[in-house]
Structure 1
C-alpha cells in the first residue's frame, strides 16, 4: 500500500470513528432529552380520611408521610352524607409531613362553615371565606423551609370553626422543571439535536464554514439550555425531601446536555483554518499549545493543575451545597471547628468559647494539638474574609502549590515519564487526601510544605529546605518526623561516602565518619527544631507550660508500644488499614531496590509510627508518607495508559467515600450555632 493510499485509508478510518462517536453522543443526548421531556409521576398526599397518607410514587418516595395530625375524629354530615373533620377556632388543627418542596405546592381544601385561616410552616397562607355548603379551594404556595430532627418538614395549620372534608397536597410541580413552564425548550432542543445530527453525517466536501458556524451556535445554545435545566433541578434539591431518583436523573441529563453542547461546539464543530476544513478544533490548537507547553512547561502544568483542582472542588463542594444548602456541613467537620476555635481564641485557656457544649468536654490545653501554622493564616485572613472562608481558600491554594511542586519534583529528577498526569492523579488519591484538603484541616498545608522542603533538599538548597521544613513543623505535630527522615538519610549518605578501610583506628573511623556527614545540610535543617521550640514557647506564654502539648490528658498522639493494634480498633476500617500497610511497605521496598535512599528514609520515618497507632484512621495519619511511598515507587504502574481509563472510576469512588464521611465526626448543631455567633 502506497503512502498516499495508507494516508487516505487512515483518514477514512478516523472519519468513520469520528462519525460513530458522534452518533453515540447524539444517541445519549436524545436519551437525556427523553428523560427531561418526561413528566415524572404526580405526587399527591391526602391529608384526611382513614388512609392518612398516600403517594403514587410508591417505593420511590418513602419520605412523604403524614407524621402527626390534631384533627378530631371523622364525622358524617347527615344532610349531605359527606365525611368531614371539625376544627375549632381556639384550637388550630395541624398536620406535619415529612416532606418539603422548593417549588410551588398546590393545596386543595374542601370545607364548609366559618372562614378558615391557613398557615404553612408558620407563615400565613390564605384566609378562606365562609361557605354554607362544602366548597373546594385551590391554593398555590412555596413553603418556607422548616428543619427539624429527622429532616425538613411541611407543617400546615388550619384555624376556624368549620368542617373540612378534604385536604390534598399536590407536589407534581416539584418534579416538572422542564415541561411545567417551558415546554418550548423541548422543541428547541429537539431541533438543535436534529440539526447537529444532520451536520455530523454530511460528507466532508459539503461541509462549509456556515455549517460550522451553525454547529457552533447550536452547541452553545444547547449548553445554555442544559445549564438552565441544571439550575432548575439543583434548586429542587434532593436530600430525602422527595424522589431522589428523579432528581439525579434530571440533574444528570441536564448536565449531559450541557457537556454535549460544549464538547460539540468547542471540539467537534467543523471550523475553517489556513489549511482548509477540519472536523475538530483540537488540531488547530494542538500545535500552539504544544509549542507554548515546550517553552513554558511549568506554566502549562500549572494551568492544567489549576483546572483539575478547580474541577475537583466543583464536584466535591457542588453536590454538598445542593444537598445541604450551605458550607456548614464542611466547616463543622472535625478538625475544622478546633482550628476555628484556636484561631479565634489564639490558645487563650480562659476564652468563653471553650465553655460551649461541643468544646467543654475537652481540657483547656487540648487545643494545643492544633498547631499554629494553619491557625495563624486563618486568623490573619479573618478580618477580610471572616473565619469560615479562609479554611477552604488556604487549602485550595496549598493543594495547587502541592500539585505544581510535585510535578517539578517528578520531572526534574526523572522520577516519572508523565509527571503532569501523576500530579493530577494525586490531587485526589490516596483515599483520605481529597477529603482532608477540602475541609477545615491542616493536611493541605502540611503536604505542601513536605514537597517544598524535599524539592529544595534535592536541589541542595539546605536553608530553604529547612525553612519549608520549619513551616511543616509549625503546621502539624508529626512534622518533626521529617527532620528524623533527613537525619537518617544524611547518616546513611555519610556511611556510603566514608571508606571504613581507610581508617586505622576506631577513633579515626569515628572522626572520619563524622567528617563525612553533610554539615551544611544539618545547619540548614536546624530551622526545624527551632520552629518546634517556637511553637512550645507560644504554648508556654498562653498556657504557662512549655510542655503543654506533651501533657494533653486526651489521647492526641494515638501511639502504643505494640504494633498493628489499629487492626483491632474498628471493624469498619481494619481491613483497609491492613492493605494500606502492605502497599506502603511494598513502596518502601521498591525505593530501596532502586537505591532511592533519600525517598526511602523519609517514607520510612513517616510510615513506621503508623504501625504503632492505636487509632482506626491510619489512612489520614499516613498522608505525609504518600509522596514518598506511593507516588514515586508506583509511577511505572500509574503511568500506564489503561490507568487513565480507570481513573474516572477511581475518582467517583473517592468522591462517594468522601461525601459519606461528612455525615459523621462533626460538631453538633447547637454548639456550631453558638460558635458562629461568637465568630462574628
Structure 2
C-alpha cells in the first residue's frame, strides 16, 4: 500500500471531489431545471424544479427554517400539519437553509444539501487518506459520491442525510485523531440534525474505554451530546408544551427487532432488508478486523438501533453506515485503476437513473407546496 499518512496538503484531490459532487448534482437536477419531459428512455411524468423542491420531507425542513418551532405560524395552516409535528425535523439543517434563504427558501435548501454532501465527501477522503485505509483513496471517495443509490438521491434533494453523514464522519475522524473535543462537538451537532446522533455517545465512550482514555474530563465532555438533545427538547416544551413532542410523532416506528420483516407486506422488500442487515453486520466485523474499532462500534451501535425501526424506508435509515461499510469492504475493490473507474461510471449511471425516476413519484401535493411558497412570500 502506498504511503497515505503524509500530513502534506494537496488541494487537487479536494477540488476533484467537490467538482464531482457539484457536477453530479447538476446532472441530477438538469432534467428538472430545463423542464424535460423525456430523456433517453426515461419519461418524467412531473418535471420542473418545483418537483425537486416538493420531494418529501424537503418542504417541511423549509418550514422549520422559517418558524424554528414557533408556537403559531401561518405556515402550519399551509400544510395542515399540527405545530408539534415539526419537532420530528431537527434544527441544524433548517438553520443552514435559513443562511442561504436570501436566494430563496427552496433554492437555499438545495444549496445546503449540496454543500453538506461536499463536506461529507471531503471528510471521507481525509479519513481514508490520512489513516492509510485505502489503496485508492480518491477513487473510493468518488465511488462513495454515487453509492449507495439511496444516498445519492438524498444528497440531491431537501433532506438532512448529507448533513448527518458529514457530522458522523467528522465525529469518527476526530475520534481517531484523539481530538476528543472536536469529536464531541461534531456528535452534538449530529444530534441536533437527527435524533440518531445521540447514539454517537456510546460509540465515543466505548472507543475511549478501548484506548484507555476514559478520563473524568473526557466523560464530562461527552455529556455535551445528551445536553444538546435536552436543550432541544426543552425548546419543544416552551414552544409546544410537550417535552416529548418528537416521540409523539415518531414513537410509532419503534418496535421489536426486525418487526418490519413481518409487518411490511412485500417479499422483495423483505429480502432486500435482510440482505442489507447481513451486509452491514459483516461490515462491522470487517472493520473490527482491520483495526478500525471506532467505525466498527458506530456500525454495531447504529445497526442495533436500525433493527428496531419499523419503517418501509429502511435503506434510508441505513445510509449513515454506508461510508464506513465501504471502508470495511475496501479490499474487495479492484486494484487496477481503470477497472475501478469503470465501476464508478456504471454506479454513477445507475444512481442518475434511479434518482431521475424516483424524484417525480414522491412529491408533496403541488397545491400544498404553492400555499407554502405564497405564505413565505407574505411573511
TM-score by length of 1: 0.50
Q: Trace 1:279-318 onto structure 2 (pairs within 5 A).
A: 297-318=9-30
Which residue does 1:28 correspond to in 2? Answer: none
Q: Distance between the aligned counterparts of 1:301 and 1:526, measured in 2? A: 36
1:532 matched to 2:229? The reply is: yes
Q: Trace 1:315-394 onto structure 2 (pairs within 5 A).
A: 315-322=27-34, 323=36, 326-356=48-78, 359-360=79-80, 362-382=81-101, 384-394=102-112
- Kindly provide the CA deviation profile for residues 284-323 of structure 1, in whole angstroms up to 9, marking residues without a partner as x: xxxxxxxxxx996441111110221122112111123232
Q: Distance between the aligned counterparts of 2:281 and 2:301, measured in 1? A: 12
1:403 matched to 2:121? The reply is: yes
User: Residues 343 and 617 from structure 1, CA distance in 2 versus in 1: closer, same or farther, beyond 3 angstroms?
Assistant: same
Q: Which of structures 1 and 2 has the bigger CA Rg?
A: 1
1:626 matched to 2:345? The reply is: no
- Kindly provide the CA deviation profile for residues 218-245 of structure 1, in whole angstroms up to 9, marking residues without a partner as x: xxxxxxxxxxxxxxxxxxxxxxxxxxxx
Superposed displacement of residue 477, structure 1: 1.4
Q: Over aligned residue pairs, what C-alpha RMSD do you find?
A: 2.1
User: Residues 587 and 570 from structure 1, CA distance in 2 versus in 1: closer, same or farther, beyond 3 angstroms?
Assistant: same
Local SS of the residue matching 2:328: coil
8 Å CA contact 1:566, 1:613 repeated in 2:
no
User: Residues 517 and 640 from structure 1, CA distance in 2 versus in 1: closer, same or farther, beyond 3 angstroms?
Assistant: same
8 Å CA contact 1:573, 1:617 repeated in 2:
no
Superposed displacement of residue 547, structure 1: 2.3
Q: Distance between the aligned counterparts of 1:644 and 1:406, measured in 2? A: 18
What 5-or-longer segments of structure 1 have no aligned partner? 1-293, 495-515
1:640 matched to 2:323? The reply is: no
Which residue does 1:457 correspond to in 2? Answer: 175
Q: Distance between the aligned counterparts of 1:381 and 1:304, measured in 2? A: 24
User: Residues 661 and 567 from structure 1, CA distance in 2 versus in 1: closer, same or farther, beyond 3 angstroms?
Assistant: farther
Q: Trace 1:451-530 onto structure 2 (pairs within 5 A).
A: 451-494=169-212, 517-530=214-227
1:659 matched to 2:356? The reply is: yes
Which residue does 2:152 correspond to in 1? Answer: 434
- Kindly provide the CA deviation profile for residues 515-571 of structure 1, in whole angstroms up to 9, marking residues without a partner as x: x73444323322211211221122122112222223x1x446621114252465152
8 Å CA contact 1:418, 1:639 repeated in 2:
no
**Alignment counterpart, residue 238 of structure 2, candidates 528, 535, 541:** 541
Local SS of the residue matching 2:246: coil
Q: Distance between the aligned counterparts of 1:616 and 1:422, measured in 2? A: 29
Q: Distance between the aligned counterparts of 1:367 and 1:406, measured in 2? A: 31
Larger mean CA deviation between 441-450 and 519-528 belongs to: 519-528
Which residue does 2:375 correspond to in 1? Answer: 678
Q: Distance between the aligned counterparts of 2:298 and 2:235, measured in 1? A: 28
8 Å CA contact 2:55, 2:359 repeated in 1:
yes
Structure with the bigger percentage of helix: 2
More RCO (CA 8 Å, sep 6+): 2
Local SS of the residue matching 1:546: coil
Q: Distance between the aligned counterparts of 1:459 and 1:597, measured in 2? A: 13
Superposed displacement of residue 613, structure 1: 1.8
What 5-or-longer segments of structure 2 have no aligned partner? 1-5, 37-45
Which residue does 1:582 correspond to in 2? Answer: 278
- Kindly provide the CA deviation profile for residues 579-626 of structure 1, in whole angstroms up to 9, marking residues without a partner as x: 211211111121232343222111111111111221121111011112
